[in-house]
Amino acid sequence: MKNVNFINSKITFLLACIAILGCDRDISDDAVEAGFPQNGDIFIDGFSAGLDYFPFGDSFFEAFTVDTETTYDGSAAAMRFDVPNVGDPDGAYSGAIFRTASGRDLSDFDALTFWAKGSEARTINDIGFGQDFGENKFQAQISGTIQLTTNWKKYIIPIPDPSKLTQERGMLWYAEGPENGTGFSFWFDEVKFEKLGTVAQPRPAILNGEDLVQQSFIGASASVTGLTETFNLASGQDVTVIAAPSYFVFSSSNPSVATIDELGVITIISAGTTIITATLDGVDAEGSLTLISLGDFTQAPIPTQDSANVISIFSDTYTNVPVDFYNGFWEPYQTTLSDDFVVNGDNVLNYTDFNFVGTSFSNPTVNASEMSFAHFDVFIPETLDPGTQLKITIRDFGNDGVEGGGDDSDMSTTLVSSDLTEGAWSSFDVSLTIANKNNLGLIIYENNGTNFTNFYLDNVYFWGVPTSPGNAAPTPTDPAANVISMFSDAYTNVTVDTWRTDWSAAATVFEDVMVDGQAAKKYTDLGFVGIETTSATIDASSMTHFHLDIWSPDVTTFNVKLVDFGPDDAFGGGDDSEYEISIANPNQGEWVSLDIPLTDFIGLTGQSNLAQYILVGQPFEVTDVFIDNMYFHN
């Protein structure tokens, strides 16, 4: 077989220029400036002049050759395309565009036609014109209906509106992958744009010809999809072409509510109702969209977790892991549909007709072994029924990393009506109690209640509390003249005898550490720890507050006890006083600044001879606590 490879090659041609000298004529008033060439040929016994061949970046680059043996009707050459097998290291599929260096005027043609055959009966995924690796403004294609046989057959792709193609560069494009794991070969010949005159009965459609009703909000944007045009050919066959938005003229019945641009992008600007329709070449398109704008939309709370401690499934705040689908539509029992929307740049999942739905992220699975929680923001846009129940199941695929392999494990939580809020966002952080979380791959949402059909979802992610702070504690701003500092890089510190007394909890370990270039103290497995200034007690009688910055990944309760030795300045002399303050549920994974009025230490009758400072953490002897900036001030 004689094949010639064309990889990123340019087929050029020469134009002979004839100069006629000595003629002295005025230019006629009827003269028209030359336009783009009206050449519809692409491959007729060889390439039309001026074409470039560009394979898609992840395709099999050597898929295309010029074949001089397998041709249509004895022609000199045909285009041959080789589709690789599954797993071919040189490319996953065969696909490319054929583009001219300058545009052509195709407005006098009504179809792209070609003869084709396959090495076996197969269906071409996508083939069309209008792709130029630029705007692709007038792209058109047929998807999944070009059925090849082993015999030559002519195929026709009608042009949605030829008048638009006055300077088109994208002459031909295709994409085809292996079927049933194996590749094959196919041929095109006599590829050209033609004026058939038999392309009739144009029937454009938007939204696949459906009349839809959707609710939306101010600031939301969406694109009109399902853009097609169906034609009837001389054979009586109907052919449907997927058409780019620029072929259509869109309109909004109430532009004060929503506008729509030439690319079919809708922008909601006020409350109210409008109907989106379109025409193509003067023909009304089937299908419409009735938009009901409910007014302003309250966005979900912006997550504040450090991205370094987050594995995101769906959030605009973080980079999301690869997701197979947010709605896999498990037939035949699932009724849940997706009507997702974007408001002011925030993407929101919108599930309607809800019974159950799944989000899959299995390629690859997620290793959440360092994560502690799963986060969900849920909005109920409908009347909240007392019987509403939203069950959320998180599934790990086990060591084999495959669902249904026999080693899967689940954890579930159910949100009831009292957990949710009608017309507002509710945020949930669910503890990841699942036994194995190295291969998480699926989240399932189930309607286990009554009269529950619709909810919005945002900020779905796994997160963990870091085990140590990534940044230093806030720098104190109290004037040094008003401070008695025990430990802070911002002030001159008094003498501290010990940061861990020998009577502290046995499991508690103390060490000096550096955090982001700043000195800090760390207590590992804090139960209780004693800190002493017994050799020189502190007179804080002129101070009003005790300050301490703490950071912990897991503390749930933190206590501070102050002990004053009394006028005799000695322990156990009968005039000692003390009081303990408890701080419940301090924020985890961030610095918390405690600034406690000394008047809150009710039982601390003296403040002139402070000698002991006891810190207590819960859970007892299992929590780690970092401290900084420990001082008194007024």
pLDDT in tens, 75-133: 999 999 999 999 999 999 999 999 999 999 999 999 999 999 999 999 999 999 999 99
Task: State the pLDDT at residue 13.
Answer: 29
Among 1.10.540.10, 2.60.40.10, 2.60.120.430, 1.10.10.10, name the CATH number for the domain at 480-633.
Answer: 2.60.120.430
Across residues 497-510, what is the average pLDDT?
98
Phi, psi of 308 (to 5 degrees): -65, -20
* pLDDT bracket for residue 24 (50, 70, 90): very low
Residues 6+ apart with CB under 8 A from 74: none
Question: How confident is the model over 334-354, as pLDDT tens digits?
Answer: 999 998 999 989 999 999 999
Q: Which CATH class is domain 201-293?
A: mainly beta
Question: How confident is the model over 386-433, as pLDDT tens digits?
Answer: 999 999 999 999 999 999 989 999 999 999 999 999 999 999 999 999
| Model confidence at 7: pLDDT above 70 | no
* Beta strands 518-526 and 509-515, pairing class: antiparallel
Task: State the pLDDT at residue 329.
Answer: 75
* pLDDT bracket for residue 609 (50, 70, 90): very high
Fold matches, 3-21+33-197 and 201-293: no
Structural fold of domain 3-21+33-197: Jelly Rolls (2.60.120)
* pLDDT bracket for residue 40 (50, 70, 90): very high
Burial of 495 from C-beta contacts in 10 A (0-12 / 13-18 / 19+) = exposed
Question: How confident is the model over 360-378, as pLDDT tens digits?
Answer: 999 999 999 999 999 999 9
Q: Across all residues in the chain, what is the average pLDDT?
A: 93
What three-state secondary structure class fits 428? strand
Query: What is d(CA 313, CA 319) in angstroms, rounded to the nearest whole number?
Result: 8
Question: How confident is the model over 51-67, as pLDDT tens digits?
Answer: 999 999 989 999 999 99
Q: pTM of the prediction? A: 0.67
* Cβ–Cβ under 8 Å, residues 285 and 278: yes
Q: Pinpoint the alpha helices (H) of 1-123.
A: none
What three-state secondary structure class fits 486? strand
* Cβ–Cβ under 8 Å, residues 172 and 133: no
Task: State the pLDDT at residue 34.
Answer: 54
- Joined tokens for residue 433: 């109690």
| Model confidence at 540: pLDDT above 80 | yes
Domain boundaries, the chain: 3-21+33-197, 201-293, 307-463, 480-633
Structural fold of domain 307-463: Jelly Rolls (2.60.120)
| Model confidence at 462: pLDDT above 80 | yes
Query: What is d(CA 118, CA 148) in angstroms, rounded to the nearest whole number?
Result: 6
| Model confidence at 445: pLDDT above 80 | yes
Residues 6+ apart with CB under 8 A from 449: 385, 387, 388, 389, 390, 416, 417
Percentage of the chain exceeding pLDDT 70: 95
Across residues 478-492, what is the average pLDDT?
98
